[in-house]
Amino acid sequence: MGSAVERFDSGARKGFDSIGRNEVFPGELLRHPVYTRFLHWMVALFFFLALFSGFGIYLPWLFRWFTPIFGGGALSREMHPWFGLAFVIFFGLQTLNWIVPMRWTPADSRWMKNIRGVISGSEKLEPPETGFFNAGQKMQFWEIVVGCIVYLITGIILWIGADTFGRWTVAASYVLHDISALIMLGGIFIHVYLSTIGEPGTFQAMTRGAVSEAWAWTFHPAWFKEVTGRDPRQSYEEARNRMKAERK
């Protein structure tokens, strides 16, 4: 099973690398290959389509101006499940793609204990054991995995309706569907913030696929060590000394 997933993923990565390309300049590292970026943006596209078409159904008194974008309330309702299904399918592929780097490790538990330092900005450099993803990213990832399962089950119940599943099942599903969406909505603010202005230099990882070495040794030192073979802290000190020397 595991090897079948790996074969599928490596085949997909290879296939997408032949279609698209990565732009990695000197002093940079490839972070996300074409396949990952493709999946990420498909997930993002269908997430926002589902979100905006769902808003009009969730709270029409506030979001009724969203529905004309989708051709009215009835068409929003008709298309919302399809957007959601596409979102779940692409995120499912992303889950297969990322299942290995997203595994929770003891280092992640240690990272979570120190989350205050990350939020307050006192931790300039990530601890050396932080790998390809940090614990915060992993938590968000697994939240979306659970959210997708909730969406899928409750969504199908809402889609097919009370005639098949009974009115109480539908009434309960509707609440769970909303709660799942709200948690994901809260997470998406953090995700968009951190990947753009919150941690400068991150966004390019999802456009041309590359990040600077400085970005890598700052935020994901263990991954930096893995791909370059150099010690992240030492590389940082060297860069710092170089920078000081240049200033003098």
Binding mask 39-68 for other proteins (x = CB under 8 A): ------------------xxxxxx-x----
25 binds other proteins per the rule CB under 8 A:
no
* Closer CB to other proteins, 3 or 120, in the complex: 120
Which member of 52, 82, 174, 203 binds other proteins (CB under 8 A)?
174
* Shortest distance in whole angstroms from residue 153 CB to other proteins: 16
200 binds other proteins per the rule CB under 8 A:
yes
Dihedral angle at the C-alpha atoms of 111, 113, 117, 119, nearest 10 degrees?
A: 80
* Closer CB to other proteins, 1 or 246, in the complex: 246
List the one residue out of 172, 183, 105, 100 whose CA is nearest residue 148: 183
Neighbouring CB atoms inside 10 A of 30's CB total 14
d(CA 35, CA 201): 20
Which member of 142, 182, 207, 230 binds other proteins (CB under 8 A)?
182
* Shortest distance in whole angstroms from residue 164 CB to other proteins: 10
Beta bridge partners of 211: 29
Tell whether the torsion through CA atoms of 67, 93, 104 and 152 is positive or negative. positive
d(CA 127, CA 224): 12
Binding mask 73-112 for other proteins (x = CB under 8 A): xx-xxx----------------------------------
- Cα 247 to its chain centre, rounded Å, is 38
69 binds other proteins per the rule CB under 8 A:
no
* Closer CB to other proteins, 97 or 235, in the complex: 235
d(CA 148, CA 84): 9
DSSP characters for 188-204?
A: HHHHHHIIIIISTT-GG
Residues within the interface to other proteins (CB under 8 A): 57-62, 64, 72-74, 76-78, 118-121, 124-125, 158, 161-163, 166-168, 170-172, 174-175, 178, 182-183, 185-186, 188-190, 192-193, 197-201, 212, 214-215, 217-219, 236, 239-240, 243-244, 247
